[in-house]
Amino acid sequence: MMRMRTIVAWGALVLVLTGLPLAVAQEAPAEPTPAAGDQPADLETLAGEDLDVSSIEQILRGDQQVLEGEFFTYDPAGRRDPFRSLLEGFEDVEGPAAAERPPGLAGMLVEEVVLQGIIQTPSGILAFVQGRDNLSYIIREGTQLYNGEVKTIEPKRVVFRQQTNDPKQLKPYQDVVREIAE
């Protein structure tokens, strides 16, 4: 009985705060008179107190704006925002980051170099590649590119280890093989 009275009192408080008429709150079924130890919660007593209802009003206004389609906000509270892409922060290399690349071979992507030839020398195997600037470069194992490096050079092919920023892959790199066309 005490619990029912508390629920009705809170319901009446919500009705008062939302501006609905009190006649709606008074339509609730009549309750038996309280016991001597119970204290009744009048609507006048609750409405007469100075209650800080600014947060409730702010929530109600926000709900109304969301329902009207005005805006939506999310407070992640230190957690990752589930509504943002996992790929965000990994810039597209053709975007603004392309202007910040170093000059020469060190500023070229693995996709931008074309294998021209492979030569055997006494000091090891070397390869000739043509860059995006239409210049030829000599590469050897360990040569760094913008998004990878030369892993191995074999008599008919070159293997590049390209760094990837894909969170769905298990390895942070992939091997790209370029072969000489006969």
Indicate the domain borders of the chain.
2-67, 102-179
User: Who has greater pLDDT, 99 or 164?
Assistant: 164
Question: Residue 4 and residue 6: Cα distance in Å, rounded?
Answer: 5
pLDDT at 3 (0 to 100): 52
pLDDT for residue 74 is more than 70: no
Q: 102-179 adopts what CATH topology? A: SH3 type barrels. (2.30.30)
In the chain, DSSP assigns E strands to 114-121, 124-130, 136-139, 144-145, 148-153, 157-163, 173-179
pLDDT at 178: 92
Residue 160 has pLDDT above 90, yes or no: yes
- Residue 121, pLDDT above cutoff 70: yes
Judged against a pLDDT cut of 50, whether residue 58 lies above it is answered with yes
> What's the pTM?
0.46
Sorted by sequence, the CB contacts under 8 Å of residue 148 that are 6+ apart come out as 109, 110, 160, 161, 162, 163, 173, 176
Scan for tokens 């006494």, then name that residue.
122
What is the total residue count of the chain?
Answer: 182
| Cα gap 139→108, rounded to integer Å | 13
Q: Between 42 and 163, whose confidence is greater?
A: 163
Residue 167's pLDDT is 79
